[in-house]
Structure 1
Amino acid sequence: MTDPQIPILAHTRVVGKDATPTRWLLVLHGIYGSGRNWGTIARRLVEARPEWGVLLVDLRNHGGSRGFPGPHTLAATAEDVDRLVEHLGIDATAVMGHSFGGKVALVYAAHHGGAGQLRQVWVMDSTLSVREPEGSAWRMIEVIRALPSEFASRAEAVEGIARAGYDEALGQWMAINLELVEGVYRWRLDWEVIEEMLRDYFRTDLWETVVRPPGEVEIHIVKATDSNSLDDEAIRRVEAASTANPRVHFHQLQGGHWINTDNPQGVLDLLAGSLP
């Protein structure tokens, strides 16, 4: 039963024109993002596959989803998604997660794979290895903490991020997380919470779900060719799992980690051609 003390995740339903979906795809974004990051792909997907609807989810403490209590873990984040699906009264036939959201999708699968409704899990360029936190997303926390706590404009924040070595496009994307409060721009992200979420992402081992999918669920691991989120050892493990188990699939798509903007057509073609 839904706990009235815990908020419901902000979300957007995307359906085709005059369509009544019989199946739903949950889309879970990466750290610092929001559901709308995948809006263009969602709209094009439901045009191509009108029997499908897409639920774009803002994960806890991102986008419009605020006020969620700790602990801020993958398990808690997946429970939020459970609560949302129960609240809406829909059945999720597939779930797709990018980066941080990919591991949330695997936790969700572990909970629902034996129930029969969930058919596919898509893990889009997520780090599957368990290791100490690292990489550009992790370093971003230090960069933000070194900047002022408020800015006269979004451009000022973008400049600060660029000085730390990130490209301007990424800085502009991060600046979406600024809000105007009393004449100045402040981050709406809680950086202590973000750090807690990322630490749990790097330390949580979900290989068992990847190599032995629950129930009849298919696991689709997608690697962006220009990203190092999946290292060589992880690729070998996924390829070995796909050889041993016909319900494990490994795909490579041209592009960088932000595959939804680097290669939206490739993502769309893969999903439209592979969803049940």
Structure 2
Amino acid sequence: MLAHTEFGSAEAPRLLIVHGLFGSGRNWGVIAKRLSDSYRVVTCDLRNHGSSPRTETHAYADLAADLAELIEHLGAPMHVCGHSMGGKAAMMLALERPDLLDRLIVADIAPVAYGHSQMQFIDAMRGVDLETVSRRSDAEAQLGALGVEPALQSFFTQSLDVAGKRWRLNLDTLAAEMDKILSFPEVDKRFDGPALFLSGAGSDYVRTEHREPIKALFPEARFAKIPQAGHWLHADKPREFEAALRAFLSMDL
């Protein structure tokens, strides 16, 4: 079972939030707490991240099966919101197990293969000498020396267990499965439920040419952009992101 945290009343409609690559449920704590006034919000750690199990695979079919197990345990159906890699996992869940979802929100990702690797960040994290790290700022300094920008230094070190001298990320599996993470499986299914594809106006992850493959799999898809936000739109514009979720989840369809 995936590690998870719940916020809000058990009687409220359920919303599952799925983080992206190198993240964890804790990255979404502030937004989850704010949304918990109206929803039973669940944040989880995907496999090979945070406190969830380490495995040798990281295919989207596996991630979707993990999410299905969690939803069945907590009670279906749920609204599901996934960002980046978590968005692909949420899309795969919706396609494979539409009975478990009410509404789907996909944050700044499309069901397509991407050409940019994330291996440079795995190499940077592997390059940190954890034995010399006594606080997160030590690791951030080393990541900076390895060419990682400040915002990502802070993001990555949220997954650092300083006392245990280890990353809460299975870097070996994530490296081995990077091609699968960047791609998206061919699926001969579709999700006919409500879906919102929410992207950052300053991001190029969801482009005009992606709308056709999105509509093929999610015929009820709606599209929206958050101004002055990039790929990490929930971190760049958290209030606007929250407002977009509330509007979509509460609208009559």
TM-score (structure 1 length as normaliser): 0.80
Matches within 5 A, 1:1-276: 8-16=1-9, 20-21=11-12, 23-47=13-37, 50=38, 52-66=39-53, 68-88=54-74, 90-113=75-98, 115=99, 118-132=101-115, 134-135=116-117, 137-148=118-129, 150-153=131-134, 154-181=136-163, 185-205=165-185, 213-214=190-191, 216-235=192-211, 238=214, 241=215, 247-254=220-227, 255-276=229-250
With over 3 angstroms needed to count, the CA separation of the structure-2 counterparts of 1:99 and 1:200, relative to structure 1, is same
Q: Distance in 2 between matches of 1:248 and 1:208?
A: 17
- The alignment yields a C-alpha RMSD, in angstroms, of 2.6
Q: Deviations over 1:114-144 (max 9, x none)?
A: x3x5221111012532144x25x44201222
Q: Distance in 1 between matches of 2:175 and 2:110?
A: 16
Amino acid paired to 1:275: L
Alpha-carbon offset, residue 246 of structure 1? 6.3
Alpha-carbon offset, residue 266 of structure 1? 1.0
Alpha-carbon offset, residue 55 of structure 1? 0.9
SS in 2 for 1:227: coil
Alpha-carbon offset, residue 250 of structure 1? 0.9
Q: Distance in 2 between matches of 1:127 and 1:146?
A: 31
With over 3 angstroms needed to count, the CA separation of the structure-2 counterparts of 1:95 and 1:196, relative to structure 1, is farther
What runs of 5+ residues in structure 2 fail to find an aligned partner? none
Q: Distance in 1 between matches of 2:107 and 2:43?
A: 15
With over 3 angstroms needed to count, the CA separation of the structure-2 counterparts of 1:39 and 1:111, relative to structure 1, is same
Which of these two proteins has the greater Rg computed from alpha carbons?
Answer: 1
Identity of aligned residues (%): 30
Alpha-carbon offset, residue 171 of structure 1? 0.5
| Contact map agreement 2:60 2:185 (CA 8 A) in 1 | no
TM-score (structure 2 length as normaliser): 0.86
**Number of aligned pairs?**
248
Alpha-carbon offset, residue 109 of structure 1? 0.3
Moved more, 68-77 or 259-268: 68-77
Q: Distance in 1 between matches of 2:162 and 2:141?
A: 18
